[in-house]
Amino acid sequence: MKKYLAVAAMLLLWASLGQAQTLTATQASIHVGENATVCGTISDRHVATHSQGMPTFIDLEKPYPNQPFTILVWARDKAKVGSLPMAGQFCVTGQIGKYRGGAQIVLHNASSWYVPKSQSAPLPPQLSNDNHYTNSDGRQVHSPAYSSRGVPAGATAVCGDGTYSFSQHRSGTCSHHGGVARWL
């Protein structure tokens, strides 16, 4: 009986070693070179149409250039990868590599990603502050803020420091926040 228990314990240990661990987007950078599942909230998605291979970059938790984790899909793999979500929680499995100060996984097929089942609907973005200012039209406008869950409603630009601007005029947008990195 002891022999069977020892064999069963060895099989369980062997099976658990073969499974990838699940990490947050911020934890991934200390696991470069390992196979793992990385989960996080989609904050930005960009197709580099003028780059060779036309890559799609999906940033988790914060938009580029402050993203802790990037998912990369090459144009040649898009059909095999399938239709990816635009927002919400997202998990990918594969070998973690380095990408511009953060970590990344390159997706090659649909079996390497999933949307967590516990997510019935994407949560609305949570902003880092509730500050407002009065614009030149006399309207109250939300001050630039970081978003924990993707692009917040009403955002008009991503600032150089990674905050979202809600400016209603181009002049002065993202001042004191590194200028406009990208208009939305």
Each domain of the chain, given as residue ranges in start order, spans 19-114, 124-184
pLDDT tens for 81-113 read 988 888 889 999 999 999 877 899 999 999 999
Question: 19-114: what CATH class?
Answer: mainly beta
The answer to whether 180 touches 169, Cβ cutoff 8 Å, is: no
**pLDDT of 104:** 96
Hey, CA dihedral for 76, 90, 155, 128, is it positive or negative? negative
The SS3 of residue 5 is helix
The SS3 of residue 60 is strand
Q: Any alpha helices (H) in 29-172, and if so which ranges?
A: 78-81
The answer to whether 128 touches 157, Cβ cutoff 8 Å, is: no
Closest Cα to residue 59, out of 68, 48, 47?
68
Which parts of the chain register pLDDT below 50? 5-19, 120
* Residue 52, C-beta contacts closer than 8 angstroms, at least 6 positions apart: none
**pLDDT of 117:** 78
Q: At 173, list the tokens.
A: 């947008």
**pLDDT of 118:** 67
As to burial, measured by CB atoms within 10 angstroms (0-12 exposed, 13-18 middle, 19+ buried), residue 105 is buried
Q: pTM for the full model?
A: 0.56
**pLDDT of 59:** 93
